[in-house]
Structure 1
Protein backbone atom coordinates (compact mmCIF):
# COMPACT_ATOMS: atom_id res chain seq x y z
CA UNK A 1 0.00 0.00 0.00
CA UNK A 2 1.42 3.44 -0.91
CA UNK A 3 2.33 5.56 2.11
CA UNK A 4 -0.27 8.20 1.21
CA UNK A 5 -3.00 5.53 1.39
CA UNK A 6 -1.63 4.41 4.76
CA UNK A 7 -1.87 8.03 5.98
CA UNK A 8 -5.54 8.13 4.95
CA UNK A 9 -6.23 4.87 6.77
CA UNK A 10 -4.51 6.03 9.96
CA UNK A 11 -6.39 9.35 10.00
CA UNK A 12 -9.68 7.51 9.57
CA UNK A 13 -8.69 5.19 12.40
CA UNK A 14 -7.75 8.13 14.63
CA UNK A 15 -4.16 6.95 15.20
CA UNK A 16 -2.74 10.36 16.15
CA UNK A 17 0.59 9.02 17.48
CA UNK A 18 1.39 7.13 14.29
CA UNK A 19 0.37 9.74 11.71
CA UNK A 20 3.32 12.20 11.88
CA UNK A 21 5.98 9.60 11.11
CA UNK A 22 3.91 8.17 8.28
CA UNK A 23 3.31 11.62 6.80
CA UNK A 24 7.08 12.14 6.79
CA UNK A 25 7.51 8.75 5.09
CA UNK A 26 4.93 9.76 2.46
CA UNK A 27 6.93 12.96 1.83
CA UNK A 28 10.17 10.97 1.58
CA UNK A 29 8.44 8.70 -0.93
CA UNK A 30 7.97 11.74 -3.18
CA UNK A 31 4.38 12.75 -2.43
CA UNK A 32 3.71 16.49 -2.35
CA UNK A 33 2.51 18.20 0.82
CA UNK A 34 -0.60 19.31 -1.08
CA UNK A 35 -1.49 15.74 -2.10
CA UNK A 36 -0.93 14.43 1.41
CA UNK A 37 -3.15 17.17 2.84
CA UNK A 38 -5.82 16.33 0.26
CA UNK A 39 -5.60 12.67 1.25
CA UNK A 40 -6.22 13.59 4.89
CA UNK A 41 -9.08 15.90 3.90
CA UNK A 42 -10.57 12.98 1.95
CA UNK A 43 -10.31 10.90 5.12
CA UNK A 44 -12.19 13.56 7.05
CA UNK A 45 -14.87 13.54 4.36
CA UNK A 46 -15.33 9.82 4.98
CA UNK A 47 -15.42 10.44 8.74
CA UNK A 48 -17.97 13.22 8.25
CA UNK A 49 -20.16 10.96 6.13
CA UNK A 50 -19.97 8.18 8.73
CA UNK A 51 -20.83 10.66 11.49
CA UNK A 52 -23.81 11.97 9.51
CA UNK A 53 -25.00 8.41 8.95
CA UNK A 54 -24.72 7.56 12.64
CA UNK A 55 -22.00 4.94 12.04
CA UNK A 56 -19.54 6.73 14.32
CA UNK A 57 -19.94 9.27 17.10
CA UNK A 58 -18.25 12.40 18.44
CA UNK A 59 -15.32 10.61 20.21
CA UNK A 60 -14.28 8.83 17.01
CA UNK A 61 -14.60 12.03 15.02
CA UNK A 62 -12.44 13.90 17.52
CA UNK A 63 -9.78 11.17 17.37
CA UNK A 64 -9.62 11.45 13.60
CA UNK A 65 -9.46 15.25 13.82
CA UNK A 66 -6.56 14.98 16.27
CA UNK A 67 -4.79 12.52 13.97
CA UNK A 68 -5.18 14.88 11.02
CA UNK A 69 -3.97 17.81 13.11
CA UNK A 70 -0.77 15.92 13.93
CA UNK A 71 -0.25 15.21 10.24
CA UNK A 72 -0.87 18.83 9.30
CA UNK A 73 1.80 19.92 11.80
CA UNK A 74 4.37 18.02 9.73
CA UNK A 75 3.17 19.62 6.48
CA UNK A 76 2.79 23.23 7.66
CA UNK A 77 6.38 24.35 6.97
CA UNK A 78 6.12 23.02 3.40
CA UNK A 79 3.22 25.14 2.20
CA UNK A 80 5.07 27.58 -0.05
CA UNK A 81 3.39 30.94 -0.45
CA UNK A 82 1.17 30.39 2.57
CA UNK A 83 1.92 31.80 5.98
CA UNK A 84 4.40 29.53 7.71
CA UNK A 85 1.82 28.35 10.18
CA UNK A 86 -1.40 27.66 8.32
CA UNK A 87 -3.72 27.63 5.34
CA UNK A 88 -5.03 30.98 6.56
CA UNK A 89 -7.31 32.25 9.29
CA UNK A 90 -10.89 31.15 9.86
CA UNK A 91 -13.22 33.32 11.93
CA UNK A 92 -16.07 31.33 13.45
CA UNK A 93 -19.05 32.21 15.61
CA UNK A 94 -22.68 31.40 16.38
CA UNK A 95 -24.89 34.15 14.94
CA UNK A 96 -26.63 36.81 17.01
CA UNK A 97 -29.52 35.57 19.15
CA UNK A 98 -28.25 31.98 19.30
CA UNK A 99 -26.37 30.64 22.32
CA UNK A 100 -25.59 27.14 21.04
CA UNK A 101 -21.90 26.32 20.86
CA UNK A 102 -21.38 22.53 20.87
CA UNK A 103 -21.71 22.24 17.09
CA UNK A 104 -19.65 25.38 16.54
CA UNK A 105 -16.91 24.08 18.82
CA UNK A 106 -16.75 20.81 16.89
CA UNK A 107 -16.59 22.65 13.59
CA UNK A 108 -13.88 24.94 14.96
CA UNK A 109 -11.77 22.01 16.01
CA UNK A 110 -12.24 20.20 12.71
CA UNK A 111 -11.38 23.24 10.57
CA UNK A 112 -8.43 23.92 12.86
CA UNK A 113 -7.24 20.35 12.40
CA UNK A 114 -7.22 20.91 8.64
CA UNK A 115 -4.53 23.56 9.07
CA UNK A 116 -6.29 26.87 9.74
CA UNK A 117 -5.64 29.34 12.53
CA UNK A 118 -8.98 29.67 14.31
CA UNK A 119 -10.50 32.83 15.78
CA UNK A 120 -13.57 31.76 17.76
CA UNK A 121 -15.90 34.68 18.53
CA UNK A 122 -18.18 32.51 20.67
CA UNK A 123 -21.98 32.74 20.63
CA UNK A 124 -24.52 35.51 20.02
CA UNK A 125 -22.14 37.22 17.57
CA UNK A 126 -23.43 40.28 15.74
CA UNK A 127 -22.73 40.91 12.06
CA UNK A 128 -20.64 43.93 13.04
CA UNK A 129 -18.48 41.79 15.32
CA UNK A 130 -17.72 39.37 12.47
CA UNK A 131 -16.63 42.31 10.30
CA UNK A 132 -14.53 43.74 13.13
CA UNK A 133 -12.77 40.39 13.57
CA UNK A 134 -11.85 40.27 9.88
CA UNK A 135 -10.25 43.70 10.20
CA UNK A 136 -8.38 42.75 13.38
CA UNK A 137 -6.88 39.47 12.16
CA UNK A 138 -4.38 38.76 9.42
CA UNK A 139 -4.91 36.48 6.43
CA UNK A 140 -8.63 35.83 7.06
CA UNK A 141 -9.87 33.69 4.17
CA UNK A 142 -12.82 31.80 5.70
CA UNK A 143 -15.68 33.06 7.88
CA UNK A 144 -17.89 30.34 9.37
CA UNK A 145 -21.35 31.22 10.71
CA UNK A 146 -23.27 28.72 12.83
CA UNK A 147 -26.92 28.73 13.81
CA UNK A 148 -29.04 26.12 15.58
CA UNK A 149 -32.33 27.96 15.95
CA UNK A 150 -34.83 28.50 13.16
CA UNK A 151 -35.63 31.86 14.75
CA UNK A 152 -32.08 33.10 14.15
CA UNK A 153 -32.03 32.34 10.42
CA UNK A 154 -32.87 36.02 9.59
CA UNK A 155 -29.79 37.01 11.62
CA UNK A 156 -27.67 34.55 9.66
CA UNK A 157 -28.94 36.12 6.44
CA UNK A 158 -28.18 39.59 7.81
CA UNK A 159 -24.69 38.47 8.84
CA UNK A 160 -23.83 36.97 5.45
CA UNK A 161 -25.13 39.99 3.58
CA UNK A 162 -23.24 42.38 5.90
CA UNK A 163 -20.04 40.40 5.30
CA UNK A 164 -20.58 40.48 1.55
CA UNK A 165 -21.21 44.22 1.52
CA UNK A 166 -18.65 45.39 4.08
CA UNK A 167 -16.07 46.42 1.51
CA UNK A 168 -13.52 43.80 2.62
CA UNK A 169 -12.41 40.98 0.34
CA UNK A 170 -10.28 37.85 0.24
CA UNK A 171 -12.54 35.63 2.32
CA UNK A 172 -15.31 33.11 1.72
CA UNK A 173 -18.36 32.60 3.93
CA UNK A 174 -19.48 29.14 5.00
CA UNK A 175 -22.70 28.51 6.97
CA UNK A 176 -24.15 25.55 8.82
CA UNK A 177 -26.42 24.36 11.61
CA UNK A 178 -29.51 22.21 12.08
CA UNK A 179 -32.06 24.46 10.28
CA UNK A 180 -29.63 25.48 7.51
CA UNK A 181 -29.81 23.83 4.09
CA UNK A 182 -27.75 24.17 0.92
CA UNK A 183 -30.70 25.99 -0.66
CA UNK A 184 -30.92 28.48 2.22
CA UNK A 185 -27.16 29.04 2.12
CA UNK A 186 -27.31 29.81 -1.60
CA UNK A 187 -30.32 32.08 -1.18
CA UNK A 188 -28.55 34.31 1.35
CA UNK A 189 -25.35 34.55 -0.67
CA UNK A 190 -23.08 32.22 1.33
CA UNK A 191 -20.17 30.67 -0.57
CA UNK A 192 -20.65 27.22 0.94
CA UNK A 193 -22.83 25.09 3.20
CA UNK A 194 -21.62 22.36 5.55
CA UNK A 195 -23.90 19.65 6.87
CA UNK A 196 -21.59 18.76 9.78
CA UNK A 197 -18.15 19.34 11.26
CA UNK A 198 -16.38 16.87 8.99
CA UNK A 199 -17.73 18.40 5.80
CA UNK A 200 -17.03 21.91 7.16
CA UNK A 201 -13.31 21.10 7.31
CA UNK A 202 -13.41 19.71 3.77
CA UNK A 203 -15.32 22.74 2.45
CA UNK A 204 -12.96 25.19 4.16
CA UNK A 205 -9.95 23.65 2.44
CA UNK A 206 -11.78 23.55 -0.90
CA UNK A 207 -12.74 27.23 -0.59
CA UNK A 208 -9.16 28.43 -0.09
CA UNK A 209 -7.64 26.10 -2.66
CA UNK A 210 -10.22 27.02 -5.30
Structure 2
Protein backbone atom coordinates (compact mmCIF):
# COMPACT_ATOMS: atom_id res chain seq x y z
CA UNK A 1 0.00 0.00 0.00
CA UNK A 2 1.41 3.39 -0.94
CA UNK A 3 2.09 5.86 1.86
CA UNK A 4 1.26 3.21 4.46
CA UNK A 5 2.48 5.22 7.42
CA UNK A 6 0.36 8.23 6.49
CA UNK A 7 -2.67 6.00 5.96
CA UNK A 8 -2.21 4.46 9.40
CA UNK A 9 -1.92 7.84 11.08
CA UNK A 10 -4.88 9.17 9.08
CA UNK A 11 -7.08 6.36 10.38
CA UNK A 12 -5.99 6.96 13.97
CA UNK A 13 -6.49 10.71 13.62
CA UNK A 14 -9.94 10.29 12.05
CA UNK A 15 -11.04 8.18 15.03
CA UNK A 16 -9.55 10.67 17.47
CA UNK A 17 -11.51 13.45 15.75
CA UNK A 18 -14.65 11.26 15.72
CA UNK A 19 -14.94 11.69 11.96
CA UNK A 20 -17.21 8.73 11.29
CA UNK A 21 -17.43 9.09 7.51
CA UNK A 22 -13.68 9.42 7.09
CA UNK A 23 -12.94 6.44 9.34
CA UNK A 24 -15.22 4.14 7.35
CA UNK A 25 -13.84 5.37 4.04
CA UNK A 26 -10.22 4.92 5.09
CA UNK A 27 -10.90 1.57 6.76
CA UNK A 28 -12.63 0.21 3.65
CA UNK A 29 -9.79 1.42 1.47
CA UNK A 30 -7.18 -0.15 3.75
CA UNK A 31 -8.95 -3.52 3.87
CA UNK A 32 -9.39 -3.58 0.10
CA UNK A 33 -5.67 -2.83 -0.26
CA UNK A 34 -4.82 -5.88 1.85
CA UNK A 35 -4.44 -4.55 5.39
CA UNK A 36 -4.93 -7.29 7.99
CA UNK A 37 -8.25 -6.74 9.80
CA UNK A 38 -6.66 -7.15 13.23
CA UNK A 39 -3.99 -4.61 12.38
CA UNK A 40 -6.72 -2.20 11.30
CA UNK A 41 -8.50 -2.77 14.61
CA UNK A 42 -5.27 -1.95 16.42
CA UNK A 43 -5.28 1.40 14.62
CA UNK A 44 -8.91 1.98 15.59
CA UNK A 45 -8.07 1.07 19.19
CA UNK A 46 -5.22 3.60 19.22
CA UNK A 47 -7.62 6.27 18.02
CA UNK A 48 -10.12 5.31 20.71
CA UNK A 49 -7.32 5.35 23.28
CA UNK A 50 -6.65 8.95 22.31
CA UNK A 51 -10.35 9.72 22.70
CA UNK A 52 -10.16 8.19 26.17
CA UNK A 53 -7.18 10.35 27.06
CA UNK A 54 -9.05 13.46 25.89
CA UNK A 55 -11.97 12.35 28.06
CA UNK A 56 -9.68 11.91 31.07
CA UNK A 57 -8.29 15.40 30.38
CA UNK A 58 -11.89 16.69 30.36
CA UNK A 59 -11.64 17.82 26.74
CA UNK A 60 -14.13 15.18 25.57
CA UNK A 61 -17.35 14.03 27.18
CA UNK A 62 -19.15 10.72 27.75
CA UNK A 63 -21.06 11.25 24.50
CA UNK A 64 -17.72 11.33 22.68
CA UNK A 65 -16.68 8.00 24.23
CA UNK A 66 -19.98 6.52 23.09
CA UNK A 67 -19.45 7.93 19.59
CA UNK A 68 -16.01 6.32 19.41
CA UNK A 69 -17.61 3.00 20.30
CA UNK A 70 -20.24 3.39 17.60
CA UNK A 71 -17.55 4.12 15.00
CA UNK A 72 -15.70 0.99 16.05
CA UNK A 73 -18.84 -1.12 15.69
CA UNK A 74 -19.39 0.27 12.20
CA UNK A 75 -15.89 -0.83 11.24
CA UNK A 76 -16.71 -4.33 12.53
CA UNK A 77 -19.68 -4.40 10.15
CA UNK A 78 -17.46 -4.01 7.06
CA UNK A 79 -17.64 -7.17 4.93
CA UNK A 80 -13.94 -8.05 5.09
CA UNK A 81 -14.01 -7.54 8.84
CA UNK A 82 -16.99 -9.86 9.28
CA UNK A 83 -15.10 -12.62 7.49
CA UNK A 84 -12.35 -12.40 10.12
CA UNK A 85 -14.81 -13.06 12.92
CA UNK A 86 -16.74 -15.95 11.37
CA UNK A 87 -16.89 -19.08 13.51
CA UNK A 88 -14.57 -21.72 12.11
CA UNK A 89 -16.23 -24.74 13.75
CA UNK A 90 -19.44 -25.76 15.49
CA UNK A 91 -17.46 -27.21 18.39
CA UNK A 92 -17.84 -25.28 21.67
CA UNK A 93 -14.52 -25.10 23.50
CA UNK A 94 -15.87 -23.38 26.59
CA UNK A 95 -18.03 -20.61 28.00
CA UNK A 96 -16.70 -17.14 28.84
CA UNK A 97 -18.34 -14.16 30.53
CA UNK A 98 -17.02 -10.83 29.24
CA UNK A 99 -17.56 -7.34 30.61
CA UNK A 100 -15.97 -3.93 31.02
CA UNK A 101 -15.69 -3.29 34.74
CA UNK A 102 -17.37 -0.64 36.87
CA UNK A 103 -16.19 2.89 36.15
CA UNK A 104 -15.27 2.33 32.50
CA UNK A 105 -17.45 2.76 29.40
CA UNK A 106 -14.87 1.54 26.85
CA UNK A 107 -15.94 -1.55 24.95
CA UNK A 108 -13.53 -1.69 21.99
CA UNK A 109 -11.10 -4.23 23.41
CA UNK A 110 -13.97 -6.22 24.86
CA UNK A 111 -15.77 -6.37 21.52
CA UNK A 112 -12.64 -7.50 19.65
CA UNK A 113 -11.87 -10.15 22.25
CA UNK A 114 -15.45 -11.40 22.30
CA UNK A 115 -15.57 -11.62 18.50
CA UNK A 116 -12.32 -13.55 18.32
CA UNK A 117 -13.41 -15.90 21.11
CA UNK A 118 -16.62 -16.71 19.24
CA UNK A 119 -14.68 -17.21 16.00
CA UNK A 120 -12.43 -19.66 17.82
CA UNK A 121 -15.24 -21.80 19.18
CA UNK A 122 -16.14 -20.24 22.53
CA UNK A 123 -19.60 -19.32 23.77
CA UNK A 124 -19.34 -15.70 24.94
CA UNK A 125 -21.80 -13.91 27.22
CA UNK A 126 -21.36 -10.13 27.07
CA UNK A 127 -22.37 -8.24 30.21
CA UNK A 128 -21.70 -4.85 28.62
CA UNK A 129 -19.82 -1.90 30.13
CA UNK A 130 -19.63 -0.32 33.59
CA UNK A 131 -20.44 -3.73 35.11
CA UNK A 132 -20.56 -3.98 38.89
CA UNK A 133 -19.07 -6.72 41.06
CA UNK A 134 -22.62 -7.79 41.97
CA UNK A 135 -23.56 -8.38 38.32
CA UNK A 136 -20.37 -10.33 37.66
CA UNK A 137 -20.95 -12.49 40.73
CA UNK A 138 -24.59 -13.21 39.91
CA UNK A 139 -23.64 -14.01 36.30
CA UNK A 140 -20.96 -16.49 37.36
CA UNK A 141 -23.46 -18.24 39.61
CA UNK A 142 -26.13 -18.24 36.88
CA UNK A 143 -24.12 -19.15 33.77
CA UNK A 144 -21.33 -21.24 35.36
CA UNK A 145 -18.67 -20.11 32.87
CA UNK A 146 -15.22 -21.63 32.47
CA UNK A 147 -13.61 -18.19 32.19
CA UNK A 148 -14.39 -14.68 33.38
CA UNK A 149 -12.83 -11.91 31.26
CA UNK A 150 -12.57 -8.48 32.88
CA UNK A 151 -11.88 -5.59 30.54
CA UNK A 152 -10.79 -2.05 31.38
CA UNK A 153 -8.88 0.79 29.74
CA UNK A 154 -8.70 3.39 32.50
CA UNK A 155 -6.00 2.94 35.15
CA UNK A 156 -8.66 3.29 37.84
CA UNK A 157 -10.17 -0.04 36.74
CA UNK A 158 -7.46 -1.98 38.57
CA UNK A 159 -9.31 -1.42 41.85
CA UNK A 160 -12.64 -2.33 40.22
CA UNK A 161 -11.15 -5.57 38.91
CA UNK A 162 -9.82 -6.45 42.37
CA UNK A 163 -13.24 -5.79 43.91
CA UNK A 164 -14.82 -8.19 41.42
CA UNK A 165 -12.31 -10.96 42.14
CA UNK A 166 -12.73 -10.41 45.89
CA UNK A 167 -16.52 -10.63 45.46
CA UNK A 168 -16.15 -13.95 43.64
CA UNK A 169 -13.98 -15.21 46.49
CA UNK A 170 -16.58 -14.08 49.04
CA UNK A 171 -19.34 -15.82 47.07
CA UNK A 172 -17.32 -19.05 47.05
CA UNK A 173 -17.10 -19.30 43.26
CA UNK A 174 -13.60 -17.96 42.57
CA UNK A 175 -12.05 -21.42 42.30
CA UNK A 176 -14.74 -22.51 39.83
CA UNK A 177 -13.48 -20.19 37.09
CA UNK A 178 -10.33 -18.91 35.45
CA UNK A 179 -9.99 -15.13 35.34
CA UNK A 180 -8.27 -13.17 32.57
CA UNK A 181 -7.80 -9.41 32.50
CA UNK A 182 -7.64 -7.25 29.38
CA UNK A 183 -6.29 -3.71 29.07
CA UNK A 184 -3.31 -1.81 27.73
CA UNK A 185 -2.31 -0.55 31.20
CA UNK A 186 -2.12 -3.96 32.85
CA UNK A 187 1.09 -5.55 34.16
CA UNK A 188 2.03 -8.77 35.95
CA UNK A 189 2.17 -6.84 39.20
CA UNK A 190 -1.37 -5.55 38.65
CA UNK A 191 -2.56 -9.05 37.75
CA UNK A 192 -1.08 -10.47 40.97
CA UNK A 193 -2.59 -7.63 43.03
CA UNK A 194 -6.03 -8.20 41.50
CA UNK A 195 -5.81 -11.97 42.00
CA UNK A 196 -6.44 -13.03 38.39
CA UNK A 197 -4.90 -15.98 36.56
CA UNK A 198 -3.70 -14.16 33.45
CA UNK A 199 -3.66 -10.74 31.85
CA UNK A 200 -3.17 -9.58 28.27
CA UNK A 201 -2.72 -6.37 26.29
CA UNK A 202 -3.72 -8.08 23.03
CA UNK A 203 -7.03 -9.73 22.09
CA UNK A 204 -5.47 -12.48 19.96
CA UNK A 205 -3.10 -13.38 22.77
CA UNK A 206 -6.09 -13.44 25.09
CA UNK A 207 -7.76 -16.10 22.95
CA UNK A 208 -4.59 -18.20 23.02
CA UNK A 209 -4.38 -17.90 26.80
CA UNK A 210 -8.02 -18.95 27.19
CA UNK A 211 -7.41 -22.03 25.06
CA UNK A 212 -4.32 -22.76 27.13
CA UNK A 213 -6.24 -22.42 30.41
CA UNK A 214 -8.77 -24.98 29.24
CA UNK A 215 -6.17 -27.35 27.76
CA UNK A 216 -7.37 -26.80 24.19
CA UNK A 217 -3.87 -26.23 22.73
User: Once the 2 structures are TM-superposed, how far is the Cα of residue 12 of structure 1 from its aligned partner?
Assistant: 1.3
Map 1:23-62 to 2 at 5 A: 23-62=27-66
Matches within 5 A, 1:134-173: 135=145, 142-144=149-151, 156-159=165-168, 165-166=175-176, 168-169=177-178, 172-173=180-181
State the structure with bigger RCO (CA 8 A, min sep 6), 1 or 2.
Answer: 1
Is the CA contact 1:12–1:43 (under 8 Å) kept in the aligned structure 2? yes
* 1:54 alignment partner, SS class: coil
What residue number does 2:193 align with?
A: 187
Q: Which SS does the other structure have where 1:60 is aligned? A: helix
C-alpha spacing 1:25/1:126, structure 2 compared with 1 (3 Å): closer
CA contact under 8 A between 1:127 and 1:159: conserved in structure 2?
A: yes
- 1:130 and 2:140 correspond: yes
Relative to structure 2, which stretch is displaced further, 34-43 or 6-15? 6-15
1:69 and 2:73 matched:
yes
TM-score, normalised relative to structure 1: 0.59
Aligned CA distance change for structure 1 residues 65 and 93 (closer, same or farther; 3 Å) = closer
TM-score (norm 2): 0.58
Root-mean-square deviation over aligned CA pairs: 4.4
The separation in 2 between residues aligned to 1:126 and 1:90, in whole angstroms, is 8
How many corresponding residue pairs? 178
3-state secondary structure, aligned to 1:77: helix
